């Protein structure tokens, strides 16, 4: 990536939808990134061929979706070029203060959360209005709702697909078992099922390699991963409080980060770029999600996707940040 017209697009799971190998996450837009800068980043993303944008109805109490809606409303083919993903589960108003909820009348009732058919119907209409569009490309359930039967979820989603308001359905923060259950019921109903799962994944958090990644591969889901820098800890900061004698012991967290920073220096790339390049290099990952606050951060991420880590570097990173040992149960049982 990095040059206009040079993107190698990938298929999202078993669907025919083609997406960029980098997802523009919008969690900071309208919050840490103002509207003008957010618009500039999205315009640059399209220019470079990054066509997959991810948001949620609860980002900044719904204001992030509204910002995207105003960007789409500028025209110029913006909506047509974007594969738009948003999420449903939490009511946007729960992120505001109780006083604000009373002032605006955005009371959170017992059916204003989760993935019941009632909440899904209300939430999708609200998202479409904020986003100023008549359809969502990938509508994702933000969390598992254990109170809702899978049959109810698929009935509600199938209606939205039939109405043309949703093209594909995805999951987020699901376990491998949840994905297997959901897909089994979808198959029984003749529904297409999930096309993607969105999970946290980085060098310091590799637990999805046990069951989520194998489930996605077996059942045809694309795997979208967020937090590639582990909340910024892989961008070069040493752990707080790790300055005493014990921090120099082998395998201490500070020692591990020092070795990581030394490896990045040897490669000649910033630590954050190496961390993102590692995620992008994993064969089970369809596309990592980034959440830039600035244009510089976005540009660095685009550059990182183009970094090719050689086998020796990947082996050393595995040694520094070992995963669970592979898929379950082989990772822990004979």
Cβ neighbors of 176 (< 8 A, separation 6 or more) are 210, 211, 212, 214, 215, 328
Q: How many CB atoms lie within 10 A of CB 209?
A: 18
Is residue 10 within a helix (H) or strand (E), and if so which, with residue range?
strand 10-11
Residue 245: Cβ within 10 Å count: 6
- Nearest Cα to 56, choosing from 294, 286, 291? 291
Query: Which token pair is 175?
Result: 């376990």
CA–CA separation, 259 vs 266, rounded Å?
10
Kindly report whether the peptide bond that precedes residue 233 is cis, defined as omega within 30 degrees of 0: no
Record the tokens describing residue 11, joined without a space. Answer: 């298929």
Give 334: exposed, middle or buried? Use CB within 10 Å, 0-12, 13-18, 19+. exposed
What distances in angstroms separate CA 262 from CA 225, 243, 257, one per listed residue? 26, 17, 8
3-state secondary structure 16-81: CCEECCCEEECCCECCCECHHHHHHHHHHHHHHCCCEEECCCCHHHHHHHHHHHHHHCCCCCHHHH
Catalytic residue among 59, 139, 174, 201: 59
Q: Where are the alpha helices (DSSP H) in 190-270?
A: 212-219, 253-267
Gap between the terminal Cα atoms of the chain? 41
Is 59 in the active site? yes
> Active-site residues: which are they?
59
């Amino acid at each position: 990536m990095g040059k206009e017209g040079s993107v190698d697009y990938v298929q999202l799971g078993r669907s025919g939808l083609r997406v960029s190998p980098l997802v523009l996450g919008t969690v900071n837009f309208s919050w840490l990134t103002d509207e003008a800068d957010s618009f500039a980043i999205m315009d640059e993303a399209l220019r470079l061929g990054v066509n997959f944008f991810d948001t949620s109805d609860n980002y900044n109490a719904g204001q992030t979706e509204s910002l995207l809606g105003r960007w789409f409303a500028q025209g110029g083919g913006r909506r047509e070029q974007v594969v738009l993903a948003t999420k449903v589960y939490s009511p946007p108003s729960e992120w505001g203060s109780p006083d604000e909820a009373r002032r605006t009348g955005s009371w959170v009732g017992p059916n204003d959360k989760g993935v019941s058919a009632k909440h899904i119907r209300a939430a999708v209409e609200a998202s479409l209005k904020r986003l100023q569009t008549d359809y969502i490309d990938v509508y994702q359930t933000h969390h598992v709702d254990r109170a809702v039967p899978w049959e109810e979820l698929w009935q509600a989603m199938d209606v939205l697909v039939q109405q043309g308001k949703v093209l594909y359905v995805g999951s987020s923060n699901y376990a491998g078992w949840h994905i297997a259950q959901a897909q089994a019921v979808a198959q029984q109903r003749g529904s297409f099922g999930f096309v993607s799962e969105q999970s946290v994944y980085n060098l310091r958090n590799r637990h999805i390699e046990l069951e989520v990644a194998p489930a996605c591969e077996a059942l045809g889901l694309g795997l979208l991963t967020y937090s590639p820098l582990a909340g910024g800890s892989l961008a070069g900061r040493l752990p707080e409080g790790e300055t005493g004698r014990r921090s120099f012991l082998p395998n201490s967290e500070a020692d591990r980060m020092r070795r990581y920073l030394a490896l990045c220096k040897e490669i000649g790339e910033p630590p954050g770029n190496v961390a993102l390049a590692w995620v992008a290099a994993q064969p089970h990952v369809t596309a990592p999600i980034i959440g830039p606050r600035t244009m510089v951060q976005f540009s660095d991420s685009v550059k990182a996707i183009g970094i090719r880590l050689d086998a020796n570097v990947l082996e050393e990173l595995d040694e520094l940040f070992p995963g669970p040992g592979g898929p379950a149960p082989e990772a822990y049982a004979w």
